[in-house]
């Protein structure tokens, strides 16, 4: 019998570039310097308030002494010092949003956070691995967020006695239209705020899904143009902080859950390091054929054979990384391939390096994710694996 067959696989190739360098060369040093300037300002304000308080005490005592004199100049001097005391007291209570004790505490806490920020910044700058830099960036943003919490306390929240106008802007509350739970949403110069809403018969599911809804709003608004929303989403899930939650129930047993999240505006620097948006390319490959997977990386796919095991067709493939010219041949016979690949190192993990390869058995719908030596993430989705038996012709001889 003579069997003629057609065997092919179709592969969807997605190559993720390594995380780009931080878009702004001044990040995170510029953000740290701005916050150091804030601490210096708090310290100066606390010192000035102390001076004003001392002046009020001194002038008060002086007024008491001068009032004991019966001289003609005593009355004008008393009036002048009384006016100065009133001015000093008004400046101390109306101009500065926070008293000196709170400012001193903010200076101490701010300096403690600064020590961590400088350490994390130096580690971030020294790190060369793109993925590790992204993770370290998230850690650094968390500390920046803690510092901004201190800024909020120094600024003072509306509704408290600290509802003063001063050198810092105070948050303003707003009621968004798509907020059925009545959450008060702040708007300030330090953070982005988003309210996620979900209606569900399960209060726990409604809570989880409302937070995801808030994250999705942030992804739509904050994803830089041309960058991968999935990578941005992963960052925002780590950066987002739940600020407040609320829910209401209805007679039909449904819960409407609202989750308010906040995200530091400085995180935009980190989001710009996300990889470019995914571009998928589909390719067709036959047994014995070798194809380059991307022009951006020396990665190749070799299809050894396709076989059936009484069910779905199974493809034996090798994915390799090499800059050697031998791999630029469009087709390699099995013997030639084995001789060439014998000089390479087989990798058992999902990490590829130069002059190495991995072997896989794949079926239709399988996905293989590999990390190349240059830091790129290579995703192969096997959209089709076919074994088609062609026309069979044979002759039967008789006696």
pLDDT in tens, 215-245: 999 999 999 988 888 888 888 998 899 989 9
Mean predicted confidence (pLDDT) in 101-109: 87
Q: Are 42 and 168 in contact (CB under 8 A)?
A: no
| CA-closest candidate to residue 302, choices 384, 369, 360, 365 | 360
pLDDT single digits (tens) 115-154: 988 888 888 888 877 777 778 888 888 888 888 888 888 8
Q: What percent of the chain has pLDDT over 90?
A: 11
Q: In the prediction, which pLDDT does 207 show?
A: 92
Model confidence at 341: pLDDT above 70: yes
Number of C-beta neighbours around residue 94 at 10 A:
11
Question: Can you name the residues that pair with 351 across neighbouring β-strands?
Answer: 371
Q: What dihedral do alpha carbons 183, 184, 190, 194 form, nearest 10°?
A: 30
Residues sharing a CB contact under 8 Å with residue 27, sequence separation 6 or more, in sequence order: 269, 270
* Residue 270 Cα distances to 52, 140, 278, 296, 319, angstroms: 42, 10, 19, 24, 32
Model confidence at 389: pLDDT above 80: no
Question: Can you name the residues that pair with 2 across neighbouring β-strands?
Answer: 393
Beta strands of 147-249 (E only): which ranges? 172-174, 185-187, 191-200, 241-249
Model confidence at 281: pLDDT above 90: no
Calculate Rg over the CA atoms of the chain. Answer: 34
Q: In the prediction, which pLDDT does 218 show?
A: 93
Strand pairing category for 356-362 and 377-389: unpaired
By three-state DSSP, how is residue 256 classified? strand
Mean predicted confidence (pLDDT) in 92-119: 82
CA distance 373 to 129: 11
Model confidence at 20: pLDDT above 80: no
Range with the poorest average pLDDT among 60-64, 88-92, 235-239, 392-396: 392-396
Provide the b/e sequence for 333-365 (b: ≥16 CB within 10 Å).
Answer: eeeebeebbeebeebeeeebeebbbbeeebeee
Residue entry with tokens 């780009």: 20
pLDDT single digits (tens) 156-205: 644 333 344 344 444 444 445 467 888 887 777 888 999 999 999 999 99
Helices 130-155 + 100-126 axis angle, to 10: 170
Residue entry with tokens 């967020």: 145
Structure tokens at 277: 């948006």
Give the model's confidence band at 83: pLDDT under 50 very low, under 70 low, under 90 confident, else very high: confident
Q: Are 214 and 261 in contact (CB under 8 A)?
A: yes
Model confidence at 4: pLDDT above 50: no
By three-state DSSP, how is residue 3 classified? coil
By three-state DSSP, how is residue 391 classified? coil
Number of C-beta neighbours around residue 322 at 10 A:
21
The upper half-sphere exposure of residue 376, i.e. CA atoms within 13 Å in the direction of its Cβ, equals 22
Model confidence at 75: pLDDT above 80: no
Q: Are 16 and 275 in contact (CB under 8 A)?
A: yes
């Amino acid at each position: 019998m003579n069997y003629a067959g057609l065997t092919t696989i179709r592969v969807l190739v997605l190559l993720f570039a390594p995380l780009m360098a931080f878009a702004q060369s001044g990040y995170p040093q510029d953000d740290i310097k701005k916050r150091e300037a804030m601490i210096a300002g708090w310290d100066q304000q606390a010192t000035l308030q102390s001076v004003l308080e001392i002046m009020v005490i001194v002038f008060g005592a002086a007024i008491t002494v001068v009032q004991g004199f019966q001289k003609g100049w005593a009355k004008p001097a008393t009036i002048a010092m009384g006016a100065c005391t009133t001015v000093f007291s008004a400046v101390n209570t109306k101009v500065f949003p926070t008293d000196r004790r709170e400012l001193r505490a903010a200076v101490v806490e701010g300096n403690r956070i600064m020590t961590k920020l400088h350490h994390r910044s130096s580690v971030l700058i020294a790190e060369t691995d793109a993925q590790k830099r992204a993770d370290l960036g998230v850690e650094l943003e968390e500390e920046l967020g803690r510092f901004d919490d201190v800024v909020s306390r120094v600024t003072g929240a509306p509704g408290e006695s600290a509802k003063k106008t001063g050198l810092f802007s105070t948050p303003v509350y707003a009621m968004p239209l798509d907020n059925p739970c009545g959450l008060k949403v702040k708007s300030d110069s330090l953070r982005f705020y988003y309210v996620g809403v979900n209606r569900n018969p399960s209060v726990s599911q409604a809570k989880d899904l409302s937070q995801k809804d808030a994250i999705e709003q942030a992804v739509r608004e904050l994803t830089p143009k041309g960058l991968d929303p999935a990578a941005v989403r992963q960052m925002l899930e780590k950066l987002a902080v739940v600020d407040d939650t609320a829910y209401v129930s209805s007679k039909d047993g449904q819960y409407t859950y609202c989750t308010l999240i906040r995200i530091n505006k400085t995180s935009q620097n980190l989001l710009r390091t996300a990889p470019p948006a995914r571009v998928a390319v589909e390719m067709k490959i036959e047994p014995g054929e070798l194809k380059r997977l991307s022009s951006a990386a020396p990665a190749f796919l070799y299809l050894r054979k396709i076989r059936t095991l009484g069910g779905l067709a199974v493809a034996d493939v090798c994915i390799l990384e090499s800059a050697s010219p031998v791999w630029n041949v469009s087709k390699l016979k099995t013997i030639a391939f084995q001789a060439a690949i014998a000089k390479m190192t087989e990798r058992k993990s999902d990490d590829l390096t130069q002059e190495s390869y991995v072997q896989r058995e794949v079926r239709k719908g399988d996905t293989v994710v590999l990390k190349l030596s240059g830091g790129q993430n290579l995703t192969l989705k096997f959209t089709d694996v076919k074994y088609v038996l062609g026309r069979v012709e044979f002759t039967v001889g008789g006696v």
